[in-house]
Amino acid sequence: QPQALKTISAQAALPETAREDWQDIIEKLWLPQPDPETRVIEQFDGYFRLEDIEPQALRKRLIHPEEYWGWPNGIAVHTQVLKQADIIQLLAMLDGFPQEVLTANYEYYEPRTEHGSSLSPSVHALVASKADHPEEAYRYFLESAGIDLYNASKKVMSGGSFLGGIHTAAAGGVWLIIVKGFAGLVLTENGASFKPALPSAWETLTFKIQIKGSLLDVQLDSSGIQIVSPASNPGRLYISVHGKEKWLNPGDRFTG
């Protein structure tokens, strides 16, 4: 869409060198790779040399229960304990990591995360679902969904209320758990793939999603997944579920 790019660039007043600058940054980005044996991605250089202790054990070192754990002098600074999702956030944001990498990193970093942020449970729920830990995914889902309902957040509180009203980013994370976690939605070049993982506590999950201008009605239950493309859709989409593939035309139904 060269004309659209030209219009947007003019409206944003982007300098002509912006694209070249961004490309230069891309080429210089360093992407750490999973360890060939453990499949774990190191949080940062030297992370594995820090004291390996879990949050509950570290908590015993607090002088006061409300003491700050982080930089520069907090009790967690020189340990592997994390405030919230980090490598797990990477696995949530980007698709395409092999199953063994998802599982190895979730199992390594989850026990070392303190969840001192309302954003952390939803990300862990999403990756737990991808990493074949369905019960943990559902536990984190309930925690994330109830942050405001049960006043469960520990952060930025004043008089029993969150200063921002509600945790809107965490609410968006709950939607991602359902659609990208429990339904296993991954967008593809021509449509979408699904890897359903319905929580055992649920009988049915339904939602609608629009992809490339076409609306899909998605329903999961214990027997599998059903995807309907309404007759009013403008075009077809390529759908894949557990290796079963189909071009879904307007008015078609896919069962997997």
Residues 173 and 201 in one domain: no
- Tell me the C-alpha distance between 118 and 133, whole Å: 21
Range of the domain at 218: 186-256
What local confidence, expressed as pLDDT, does residue 6 receive? 86
Residues 100/39, Cβ–Cβ less than 8 Å: yes
Is 105 in the same domain as 160?
A: yes
Q: What is the pLDDT of residue 151?
A: 58
Report which secondary-structure segment, H or E, holds 240: strand 237-241
Report how far residue 41's alpha carbon sits from residue 14's, in angstroms, rounded to the nearest whole number: 35
Q: What is the pLDDT of residue 154?
A: 54
Q: Give 239's DSSP letter.
A: E
Q: Using CA atoms, how far apart are residues 148 and 138, in angstroms rounded to an integer?
A: 17
Whether residue 201 sits in one domain with residue 141 = no
**Structure confidence at residue 21 (pLDDT):** 94
Name the strands in the sheet holding 237-241, side by side, starting at the edge strand that comes first in the sequence. 186-187, 191-194, 237-241, 244-248
Of 141, 165, 182, at which residue does a domain stop? 182
Based on the structure, what is the number of domains in the chain? 2
Tell me, yes or no, whether 225 lies in a domain: yes
Q: What is the pLDDT of residue 117?
A: 85
What's the rounded Cα separation, in Å, for the pair 123 and 118?
10
**149 and 229: one domain?**
no
The answer as to whether 38 is a domain residue is no
Both 162 and 223 in a single domain? no
- 118 φ, ψ (degrees, to nearest 5): -70, -15
How many CB atoms within 10 Å of residue 244? 13
- Residue at 114 is within a domain: yes
Instruction: Extract the residue ranges of the chain whose pLDDT is less than 50.
Output: 156-159
- Asked if residue 72 has a cis previous peptide bond (ω within 30° of 0), the answer is yes
What's the pTM value of the predicted model, to 2 decimals? 0.84
